[in-house]
Amino acid sequence: MKFQDYYEVLGVARDADQDAIQKAYRKLAMKWHPDRHAEAERETAEREFKRVSEAYEVLSDPQKRSRYDQFGENWEQGQEFRPPPGARTTSAEDFEQAFGGAGGFSDFFRSMFGDQFRADFGGGGARHARYRHRGADLRAELRLPIGRAIAGGKSSFVVPARASCPSCGGVGFVGQHVCPSCAGVGHVAEQKTVDLTIPDDVRDGLVLRMRGLGEPGEQGGEGGDLLLTIRIDADEAYRLRPNGLEADVAVAPWEAIAGTKVEIRTAAGTAVATIPAGIRPGTVLRLRGQGLAKARGGRGDLFVVVRIGLPEPLEERQRELLLEAGRAGTATVHGGARTGGGA
């Protein structure tokens, strides 16, 4: 870590006495305490809180401060700072003592924020009170192909998460020293696998609150929630359109001539599309209420685009009849980029 001027970090003069250093630390620790910041700001707050704690750790110790003052000019030029063996940032006990002794942490913050601090942090003067709080909520997105979304069932996915540090139990300290595993933050990064039962009302932009699947609480606090946003993507069978879904359905040439009924899997279950006799390829049929759920209730529509296809495999007799039909007349199939005539 590149050296930082601890006097500047705390905003005190180089000849500041211990009372001034402690007062400056209290002010900055209150400002940057991670528990006072929203999830989106917590990473920055933790980084600043560690900087402040590191500065206080050095300047509050006469011996460390003396060594710092002696070699400070070299550090200000950007040389790597290697703290002396056994160096540590401020422990939870030191932090409480800085705020007035046993119970001082809670008393100090409660005097600043009133009874709300008691409600948020469990009240009383218990030590390490700041660690007994609800875990932060996590936000993640899950992208689902339309076909997978309307099929329902369960889907597994992985989201980045933070877990309580196994080395220190989320406290950030091992004995009187900063935890080497989490650098005093109290948590470590991990990948979390989540099993989701796809809801019947799934739609693009749907936000699901999955209780207790966020970051773990500290020291007995309840876990946060996972706020999962569903994103629906087109696939080979289905496409999104502004007022519903669109899907292709293939019918054989003789089915298009004579008419038929086709079963189609929809977001609401299974629907039957009636293909009228003599239908032209590319005709769009509308199945009302068979699309994805709407945010305000109800369902959108499913638009079925009729395509002409051939059975697989095509039987020899079917092939002969199709060729015979082609030789029987000179009518030209219109559409697309074709300009010539004949079959």
What does the pLDDT look like over 277-300, one tens digit per residue? 999 999 999 999 999 998 888 999
- Show Cβ contacts of residue 259 under 8 Å, excluding neighbours closer than 6 positions: 274, 275, 276, 277, 278, 279
Lowest mean pLDDT among 173-177, 199-203, 295-299, 335-339: 335-339
For residue 234, pLDDT over 90 is answered with yes
Higher-confidence residue of 197 and 169: namely 197
Rounded to two decimals, the pTM is: 0.51
DSSP 8-state secondary structure symbol assigned to residue 290: -
pLDDT 10s digits, 108-147: 444 544 444 444 444 443 334 444 567 778 788 888 999 9
Spell out the domain ranges in the chain: 6-131, 138-233, 238-327
CATH architecture of 6-131: Orthogonal Bundle (1.10)
For residue 101, pLDDT over 50 is answered with no
Instruction: Select 138-233's CATH number: 2.70.98.20, 3.30.230.30, 2.30.110.10, 2.60.260.20.
Output: 2.60.260.20
Q: Which amino acid is at 88?
A: R
> What local confidence, expressed as pLDDT, does residue 207 receive?
92
For residue 28, pLDDT over 60 is answered with yes
Query: Confidence band (pLDDT; 50, 70, 90) for 35?
Result: low
Fold agreement (6-131, 138-233): no
Instruction: Select 238-327's CATH number: 3.40.50.1000, 3.40.50.2300, 2.60.260.20, 2.40.30.10.
Output: 2.60.260.20
- The answer to whether the beta carbons of residues 107 and 98 sit under 8 Å apart is no
Adjacent-strand bridge partners of 269: 266
